[in-house]
Amino acid sequence: MSMHGEYKVPGGKLVVVDFEVVDGKISGFQLSGDFFLEPDDALGCIDRAVEGLSPNGTIEEYSDAIHQALPSEVHLLGFTPDSVGVAIRRAVTGAAHWRDYDWQILHEPPVAPMLNAALDEVLTAAVGEGLRGPTLRIWEWNAPAVFIGSFQSVKNEVDEQQAAAHGAQIVRRISGGGSMFMEPQACITYALYVPGELVRGMSFADSYAYLDEWVLEALKALGIDAVYKPLNDITSPHGKIGGAAQKRLGSGAVLHHVTMAYDMDPVAMTEVLRIGREKLSDKGTASAQKRVDPLRSQTGLTREAIIAKMIEVFKQRHGGTDGEVTEGEWDAAELLVEQKFSTEEWIRRVP
């Protein structure tokens, strides 16, 4: 059985593996790609290290075998032994690639914050059930909100009196991660709804960077030296830009969404979020601007111009056509707001 796997290392190079599975073992293994490797004969060392291993091994097992086989003086540029392991796992598991899909790109008018959270669940489920193809959606919302992670405590994270003073409702999303005070026009939020096949064979950590590489390219095209900082931060030399969160449904579909600061108010953030206040208590609120550096100050561009560049880069890399949320999806999201997201049982599921 012939196997072929590819893995584009976030911020690095393409790693390609080809091999056969004979009598339950990897045979005729060949590594290729646009990476750099010195000395030349180290390529053969990697091929021989993987030869004969089980196709059902772990990324760590492949990486360890390669590490042990490499000469002491070796330089791998644009890839790592781990990335070879990821490519092998993607070959074995039948992972898909971005261009295997017809992407839809959604950018609807502003809606209530809770409706955005509900739409994320509805659209991810639709992808998992085969009712819609993989989709990128740019959020727009019409009121301030405090978005908290699925497992966060309301009382530990939010000053509810201050949130009310800022006109912000509390919205608990279905993904994990931290809390954010989000005002309309002050943030850029996008969500990807993808089949599990796109990130198959990757660890959770690898999948975060893999799903956001296109936006790093867009930010770099705008003059921002953006990089991914594990596990889930997009940052630059001037400070953190944004953070990602994920939720994987039982169907295998993955929700991956990211919020980036466009023109944040650091004082308001520390008033509304207790955790922000605690982190900055020994530094003063003036340092908030250094901890999170908005895109407006780094680019001088409008929020709309940055979003336009993001969509342009996504289409160039992965394809995609403009679409819209269907009437049935809107109805399902509104029902989910009523039955779940607006209920005290959900909002305060961790008091």
57-79 pLDDT, tens per residue? 999 999 999 999 999 999 999 99
> What gap in Å lies between CA 236 and CA 258, rounded to an integer?
16
Where are the chain's structural domains? 2-93, 98-347
Q: Please, which pLDDT band fits residue 205 given cuts at 50, 70 and 90?
A: confident
Residues 234-253, mean pLDDT to the nearest whole number:
94
Residues 141-167, mean pLDDT to the nearest whole number:
97
- 72 by DSSP, 3-state: which? coil
Tally Cβ neighbours within 10 Å of residue 285.
16
On whether the CB atoms of residues 25 and 32 are closer than 8 A, the answer is no
Please state, in angstroms and as integers, the Cα–Cα distance from residue 68 to each residue in 45, 61, 73, 280, following that order: 10, 11, 12, 45
Q: What is the pLDDT of residues 85-135, one digit of tens each?
A: 999 999 999 999 999 999 999 999 999 999 999 999 999 999 999 999 999
Domains 2-93 and 98-347 share a fold: no
> What gap in Å lies between CA 256 and CA 267, rounded to an integer?
28
Question: Which tokens belong to 41?
Answer: 């004969």
On whether the CB atoms of residues 87 and 17 are closer than 8 A, the answer is yes
Q: Please, which pLDDT band fits residue 277 given cuts at 50, 70 and 90?
A: low
> What gap in Å lies between CA 15 and CA 271, rounded to an integer?
46
Q: How many CA atoms lie within 13 A of 316 on its CB side?
A: 12
- 283 by DSSP, 3-state: which? coil
The superfamily CATH assigns to domain 98-347 is: Bira Bifunctional Protein; Domain 2 (3.30.930.10)
Those residues whose C-beta lies under 8 Å from the C-beta of residue 297, and which sit 6 or more positions away, are 238
User: The tokens 């679409």 sit on which residue?
Assistant: 323
> What gap in Å lies between CA 38 and CA 68, rounded to an integer?
16
Those residues whose C-beta lies under 8 Å from the C-beta of residue 57, and which sit 6 or more positions away, are 88
Instruction: State whether CATH 3.30.390.50 applies to domain 2-93.
Output: yes
pLDDT at 276 over 80: no
